[in-house]
Amino acid sequence: MNNTVDIVKKYLNFRRDVNGILLLNKPKGISSNGFLQKLKIIFCAKKAGYIGTLDPLATGMLPICFGKANKFVSYLTNADKRYRVKAFLGQSTNTFDAEGKITSIKPVIFNKNNLEDVLNLFRGEMDQIPPMFSALKYKGIPLYKYANKGINIYRQPRKISIYSLKLINWSANKLELEIHCSKGTYIRVIINDIGEKLGCGAYVQSLHRLSVAHFSEESMIQFDEIKRIVSENISLLESKTIFYKIDQLLLPYEQLRRNIL
């Protein structure tokens, strides 16, 4: 990935006006902002932002808004989202996901009826307390920085809605769910709370965002596809005609404006 960015920087060290949305299928292992910075370089964009932070552990739809498309930020931020989540049962972590430290280990003792009863508690509107390990800020400092120092900050509960929660698979200590939820929902918190209600604990093993608003996963672009286009068209970089190819990956601003604004 760095090679692709370095190649573009070598030939195209400038910024241009780019308008549109790239529905990136974010891979695992890099932060949302990390991908934003790399895509700004590849597209030589003056202005770009992303919608809905995905943790490095998470994958899936990350809308990147270029130029005028940043007018859609409010709409997309407030839109509902769909996720596919895989959870590990029998353990809890301080971050509520696989990257955290294990805080408890308990036996997994419940049946299908118990599970269905617990899942039903998480359907509909509810109050959710944001996790300490999050990018939310207190006095200008992200909460996770306080959490890393063992400092707990009071967080105001927030109203969220779980429109649907489907059980996809359950076996032994593995649980897979599909969740359709409102803005601001922390799936990590949902999984942790489900584990608490089941009496065994749980944390997120993997999380994949399927959709944001009306954008479906079929519209997502793989980062490898962007890298492939650049690597196969290096000869077009110096003349800048590479933009005719990579700009086709964007949802056009005018089309989006008619559908959204």
- The pLDDT tens digits for 215-229 are 988 999 999 999 999
Evaluate if residue 63 carries a pLDDT over 60.
yes
Check residue 77 and give its pLDDT: 86
One fold for 2-78+214-260 and 81-212: yes
User: How far apart are alpha carbons 64 and 29 in whole angstroms?
Assistant: 18
Check residue 121 and give its pLDDT: 97
- What average pLDDT is seen over the chain? 92
- Out of 6, 55, 117, 247, pick the active-site residue: 55
| Average pLDDT for 59-86 | 92
Check residue 259 and give its pLDDT: 65
- The pLDDT tens digits for 8-45 are 888 888 899 999 999 999 999 989 999 999 999 999 99
* Beta-strand relationship, 174-181 and 141-142: unpaired
Structure tokens at 5: 């960015």
Q: Where are the domains of the chain?
A: 2-78+214-260, 81-212
User: How far apart are alpha carbons 8 and 116 in whole angstroms?
Assistant: 52
CATH architecture of the domain with residue range 81-212: 2-Layer Sandwich (3.30)
Evaluate if residue 244 carries a pLDDT over 60.
yes
pTM (global) more than 0.85: yes
User: How far apart are alpha carbons 47 and 75 in whole angstroms?
Assistant: 18
Let me know if domain 2-78+214-260 sits in CATH 3.30.2350.10.
yes
Check residue 10 and give its pLDDT: 82
Is residue 247 part of the annotated active site? The answer reads: no
User: How far apart are alpha carbons 128 and 179 in whole angstroms?
Assistant: 15
- The pLDDT tens digits for 86-109 are 999 999 999 999 999 999 999 999
